[in-house]
Amino acid sequence: MGIYKDRAATNTKRFTTTFGIELSHFHNLPNDKRKSNIYPHPLNKNNSLFDMTPISIQRFDKGYILPRAGSNSTLSDKKVLLIGCGSVGSHIALELVRAGVMNLTLVDKDLFHIENVYRHALGVSSLYEAVKNKENEEYYSLPKVIGLKREIESKFPYVIVKCHQDSIEELIVGKMIEPTEYDLIVIALGNPTIELYLNDYFHNLSNCPPVIFTWLEALGIGGHAILTKNNNKAGCLNCLYLDTSGLKTDLFNRASFAAARQFFGKIIAGCGSVFTPYGSMDAISTAILATRLATDTLLGREVDCPLLSWKGESRVFLEHGYILSDRYKLNNETLYSLRYSYKKDQCEVCGIRGD
């Protein structure tokens, strides 16, 4: 077998593959008493008897399989840093790869636990890893980033996945990661305090790529994604925590579909574990919203810094006695038309950097 590379006048690469097939048991039919003949090719002689095994050749290159799956080959050279690999972040990781991103770095310090299984992209097979020693076999909880890296690499060819089992704050302080090496940063931590810190850090970083923050709300009422640091446009996460006068709102996010000063954590009886109630479909809907914004940004389709939201049903939310915000009462068309209206000129993080 040989491969011949042909470069045309353009920069297009063309490849031609040649191969040979070894023929065995090539001779006359049993009833043919004539002297055995050697034929140039078995298909040229009707009376010949030979063994032939058909070989099916299937293309496996990126240029063939990515477009057929709806992926964009332009994204294959992009590098994305994903911070947070929980229920939302894990689905974002998979959807980014399906969209065509072939170079992904994952950051998350947490281990994968059984209570995450039904709303996470990973399953029970990623809970533990067996380690054998001389006496017995021990099982250890698997980090989310390791499980997600293995899941992606087992499903999709050509993908380069790097991972850091550390908090993003430790990586920044220890200079173990360089944000400017990436084309896009996606943050799915669900922790406003850390996210506001990162928002400020990235806005003070020279040559920082665009950054997306994404999160969802309790009981399926919706999810959000905001883009910042895009084309030197104003608008950032900090803008959402300022009131109409430009003052801080005590960590109340103005994008919220829930009214202020409500607690949504549920406590599991007997174990003291607190969690925010939402389902897998809510996490997936938010991941899709963030991934579409990510691909639009990487492809240059989004040139500003929008705030995007999806709205879910409010019935269960209201049955639990919670109160909706005025923003939830807006229809989807209005929410989309107002996607740039959240910006605050008084924002000390991004206001002075806008056009």
The residue with greater pLDDT, 170 or 38, is 170
The pLDDT value recorded for residue 51 is 59
Domain ranges of the chain: 2-51, 73-353
The pLDDT value recorded for residue 3 is 45
Q: Taking 80 as the threshold, does the pLDDT of residue 245 lie above it?
A: no
From CA 172, how far away is CA 202, in angstroms rounded? Answer: 11
Band of pLDDT at residue 271, cut at 50, 70 and 90: very low
The pLDDT value recorded for residue 45 is 55
Of the chain, the percentage scoring pLDDT greater than 90 comes to 65
Mean pLDDT of 187-204: 96
CA distances from 266 to 196, 257, 275, 314, 324 (A): 24, 19, 5, 18, 18
* Class of domain 73-353 (CATH, top level): alpha beta
The pLDDT value recorded for residue 137 is 81
Q: Taking 70 as the threshold, does the pLDDT of residue 77 lie above it?
A: yes
Mean pLDDT of 321-346: 96
pLDDT averaged over the chain? 86
Q: Taking 70 as the threshold, does the pLDDT of residue 302 lie above it?
A: yes
pTM confidence score: 0.82
